[in-house]
Amino acid sequence: MGLGDVYRQQFRTTLASFIQYRASIFIWTIDRILEPLIYLVVWSAVARATGGSVGGFDTAQFAAYFIVLMLVTQVTYTWVMFEYEYKIRHGSLSFALLRPIHPIHTDLVDNVSSKLITLPLMLAAAAVLVVLFRPVFSPPPWAAALFVPALLLAFGVKFAVEWTLSLSAFWTTRVGAINQGYFVAALFLSGQMAPLSLLPHPLQVAAAILPFRWMISFPVELLLGRLSPGQAMTGLAAQAAWLALALLLLRTVWRAGVRVYAAVGA
C-alpha cells in the first residue's frame, strides 16, 4: 500500500469521525468566525472615529482585510500544539509509533479533513459579512493567481512550525506556557489583531524576520492587492525558506524526541 492509499483511507476515517462530532466542529468554527469579526467591528469604529481611515485603511478596506483574514485563518489553522502533551504524557503516542507511517501524515489528513467540513460554513459566513460590511478590494490578476500558492505555503509553514513546537512535550510535561507565548506572539505578529502596517516599525520588522507574517498576513495582503510584484515574489521566497527550515527542524527535533520518549518508556 502506497502513501496515497494510506492518505485516502485515513481521510475517510477522519471524515467519518468528524461527522460524528458535528456540534464540536460547529462551535470551533463559530469561534474562528467571531474573532476576526470582533476585530473588524473595533477597527471600523476606530476608522469612523478618526475621520474615516486609519493607516491607509477605511471601513470598507478593514472589512475586506478581516473577511479575507477569516478565510485564510480557516485554511491555515492547526491544533497539534494542544494534543502532543497529552499524547506523550499518557503514552498514546506509542500506538502511532507502531504504525508503518510517520504520525505527521495522520495529523496532516486530520487537519485537511476538518477544513473541508467547515469550509461551507466559513464561506456562508463570509458571504453574510460581505453583505453587511460591503468590503472593497480589487487585486490585480497576477496577485489573485499567486494567492493560492501563497496560501498553501502559509499552511505548510504554520503546520511545520507548530508541529515542531508541539514536540517540546518530549522534554517537559507541561507545555501550556510555551503554547501561550507562541499564540500571543502570533496574535500580534501574524496580522490577526490588526494589519501589520498599523504596528510600530520594530514589530513589523520582527514579523518579517520571524515566520509569523508568512503564516497569515502575507496571503491576505497579496489578495487585497497591497503588494507589488517584487514584494510578492520576495514573500513567496520567504515562505519557501521558512518551510524548508521548519521541516529541517521538525525532522531533527522529532528524532531527538523519539529517542527520549523510547528511553522513558523502557
pLDDT of the chain, 266 residues: tens digit per residue = 566 676 777 777 777 766 666 666 777 778 888 889 999 999 999 988 888 788 889 999 999 999 999 999 999 998 888 888 888 777 778 887 877 788 888 888 888 888 888 888 899 999 999 999 999 888 899 999 999 999 999 999 999 999 999 998 888 877 888 888 999 999 999 999 999 999 999 999 999 999 999 999 999 999 999 999 999 999 999 999 999 999 999 999 999 988 887 544 44
- Chain centroid offset of residue 152 CA: 10
Backbone angles phi and psi of 57, in degrees to 5: -115, 125
Nearest alpha-carbon partner for 217 in 243, 245, 187: 187
Q: What is the pTM of this model?
A: 0.89
CA dihedral sign of residues 226, 232, 234, 240? positive
Three cell numbers, residue 215: 503564516
